Amino acid sequence: MRPQRRPRFQELDAMGLPEERGRSGSESRGQEEAGAGGRARSWSPPPEVSRSAHVPSLQRYRELHRRSVEEPREFWGDIAKEFYWKTLCPGPFLQYNFDVTKGKIFIEWMKGAITNICYNVLDRNVHEKKLGDKVAFYWEGNEPGETTQITYHELLVQVCQFSNVLRKQGIQKGDRVAIYMPMIPELVVAMLACARIGALHSIVISWNQGIDLWWHELMQEAGDECEPEWCDAEDPLFILYTSGSTGKPKGVVHTVGGYMLYVATTFKYVFDFHAADVFWCTADIGWITGHSYVTYGPLANGATSVLFEGIPTYPDVSRLWSIVDKYKVTKFYTAPTAIRLLMKFGDEPVTKHSRASLQVLGTVGEPINPEAWLWYHRVVGAQRCPIVDTFWQTETGGHMLTPLPGATPMKPGSATFPFFGVAPAILNESGEELEGEAEGYLVFKQPWPGIMRTVYGNHERFETTYFKKFPGYYVTGDGCRRDQDGYYWITGRIDDMLNVSGHLLSTAEVESALVEHEAVAEAAVVGHPHPVKGECLYCFVTLCDGHNFSPKLTEELKKQIREKIGPIATPDYIQNAPGLPKTRSGKIMRRVLRKIAQNDHDLGDTSTVADPSVISHLFSHRCLTIQ
């Protein structure tokens, strides 16, 4: 439910955070706080989590955040000391221009400092921190029982071998290596081997008979020592093509030094990492979440992780929780789409497993509707695990808005507050910063170390996409609301906003109202041309098992939306959608749904659709008349 607006504005400090008033998170812990005065309910961090947390209170978070934004060079400079640098940064620690009217956009952290990210996440853990025998990954295949594990020492040996293989193939620093592999330890090995020899990895493509070679044949002959290639902190580390949910994919370029600092630091604080943790991020390594929180972030911290090749519904829908119990997973990170999928099957597949090891749960990738948040919290986390709803992008390298488990009182559906070094603002259409309670464009005012540096081969596209609309700011492309307590709520991509008779509605808000109905597992809403309203709502709904699509259900859904949001949001079309077009990372492709609603078969680039067969099904079952 949308919290009521209050007629008063609250004072914000320089970083867009509310000044602390009344009870702080550190004083009211481990309990649900009622939504008095129309406020969304909030959950304070459980005392047992706060007690041992790196950041144990909201007060401490505020102090650290203030310093990170006011003194970014000193804040990140201290963190940089924890890494190995062959040569320290000889010049300014940070230089940048965010303003297109003043010249070329550039961001440089620690330029001239020399390091190697693979050396930092492997050699140092093995040789200096003596973690050689610690398990880096428990690998679990799609078939239960298919498992292996790999220690830090074994990982280092394999990475050195594969680095030698790559060098023997003539790969040199600055070359680009495309990798196409399933979720197996060899994929991590291949990425790190590229990083070790200074080649850029880009994870894509299919087998090519003429060019491709067999892993085991090459590895047999390779030596197991390999001197790293020493790189500038600003040398490129990898290229990752964005999912293409809104247009032609862009090659996002991240660099060695800043990315290393940022993913290591976000991993440590956002998951409140401790040495005994077993971490599990279910994301595919081919996506940024996998790069940052399967590979680089956990390894930089010397963590043990689960690497899962399978899917959450095989051999049955309790697979995730059986794996949690098997490896005693303490921190679990997944996408709202997976949570909604599993919610459809009820509580029993979850509760039949103990899950007693779980301490922190996370989500990423899209707004999590409060319904799914509450289920995740109540059923999966048994009401004792904080949920970190992490907002970020391929472009940002790591988390941007997120709770910290021991410090931040949570509100279901809100990514809460900015991470260290992040200065958010909300702008109106004219580019003015809005204070207090407000809704508009989410932008960032200054660089953080993990920000992308360019679009591969097209710097102009980088400037146009992220910096032209509002000079002086990085523009996320997301809409956002800040509530009376200073919490940030992502309302969805700006291109996903709907304008019905002059009223702006966010797709996330309508979808959230739909999935609150017990029959609906997932919903996607798009705008559709309407002669009177300008735009009307066309909704696609996926039903839970055991429910049938009927005129009665359509009426109930319309009523639900009228009650939750208002009559203006009443949909004109509701289509039954047994499946929705999604990218392989689980993001709903609303661009494609908009075309389906209009019976427009000119779909543009659909190379990233996970299951193209759902598109033809939806075309052939379109709603032809207003319901």
Interface ranges with ligand PRX (CB under 6 A): 242-243, 288-289, 364-367, 389-394, 415, 476-478, 490, 493, 585, 587
Smallest gap, in angstroms, from Cβ of residue 402 to ligand PRX?
8
DSSP per-residue codes, 327-370: HT-SEEEE-HHHHHHHHTT-SHHHHTS--TT--EEEEESSPPPH
Integer Cα distance of 349 and 591 in angstroms? 34
Integer Cα distance of 246 and 23 in angstroms? 42
Query: Kindly report the CA angle at 277 between 272 and 283, in degrees rounded to 5?
Result: 80
Token reading at 545: 């098992």
Smallest gap, in angstroms, from Cβ of residue 32 to ligand PRX?
21
Integer Cα distance of 94 and 255 in angstroms? 14
Q: Are 148 and 139 in contact (CB under 8 A)?
A: yes
Nearer to ligand PRX, 296 or 391 (CB): 391
Nearer to ligand PRX, 198 or 450 (CB): 450
Packing angle of the helix pair 72-80, 256-270 (nearest 10 deg): 90
Smallest gap, in angstroms, from Cβ of residue 240 to ligand PRX?
9
Smallest gap, in angstroms, from Cβ of residue 135 to ligand PRX?
26
Integer Cα distance of 118 and 133 in angstroms? 18
**Comparing C-alpha atoms, which of 333, 395, 394 is closest to residue 358?**
333
Smallest gap, in angstroms, from Cβ of residue 410 to ligand PRX?
12
Integer Cα distance of 498 and 85 in angstroms? 49
Q: H/E/C letters for each residue in 382-419?
A: CCCCCEEEEECCHHHCCCCECCCCCCCCECCCCCECEC
Smallest gap, in angstroms, from Cβ of residue 136 to ligand PRX?
23
Burial label for 604, CB within 10 Å (0-12, 13-18, 19+), is exposed
Nearer to ligand PRX, 286 or 447 (CB): 286
Nearer to ligand PRX, 3 or 367 (CB): 367
Smallest gap, in angstroms, from Cβ of residue 474 to ligand PRX?
12
Integer Cα distance of 270 and 389 in angstroms? 10
Nearer to ligand PRX, 265 or 476 (CB): 476
Smallest gap, in angstroms, from Cβ of residue 604 to ligand PRX?
18
In one-letter notation, the amino acid at residue 302 is G
Nearer to ligand PRX, 334 or 476 (CB): 476
Smallest gap, in angstroms, from Cβ of residue 353 to ligand PRX?
26
Smallest gap, in angstroms, from Cβ of residue 242 to ligand PRX?
5
Smallest gap, in angstroms, from Cβ of residue 583 to ligand PRX?
7
Strands (E) across 221-295 are located at 231-232, 236-241, 251-255, 278-281
Nearer to ligand PRX, 66 or 445 (CB): 445
Integer Cα distance of 331 and 348 in angstroms? 21
Number of residue whose CB is nearest ligand PRX: 394
Nearer to ligand PRX, 150 or 592 (CB): 592
Nearer to ligand PRX, 318 or 506 (CB): 506
Q: H/E/C letters for each residue in 159-172?
A: HHHHHHHHHHCCCC
Nearer to ligand PRX, 243 or 304 (CB): 243
Smallest gap, in angstroms, from Cβ of residue 442 to ligand PRX?
9
Nearer to ligand PRX, 115 or 402 (CB): 402
Smallest gap, in angstroms, from Cβ of residue 290 to ligand PRX?
10
The H-or-E segment that residue 474 falls in is strand 474-482
Query: Kindly report the CA angle at 124 between 332 and 82, in degrees rounded to 5?
Result: 75
Chain centroid to Cα 324, Å, comes to 21
Nearer to ligand PRX, 198 or 370 (CB): 370
Integer Cα distance of 618 and 87 in angstroms? 57
Nearer to ligand PRX, 108 or 496 (CB): 496
Torsion of CA 183, 184, 186, 189, to 10 degrees: 70
Smallest gap, in angstroms, from Cβ of residue 390 to ligand PRX?
5
- Local structure of residue 37 (DSSP, 8 states): G
Nearer to ligand PRX, 68 or 402 (CB): 402
In one-letter notation, the amino acid at residue 58 is L
Integer Cα distance of 336 and 9 in angstroms? 32
Integer Cα distance of 231 and 86 in angstroms? 9
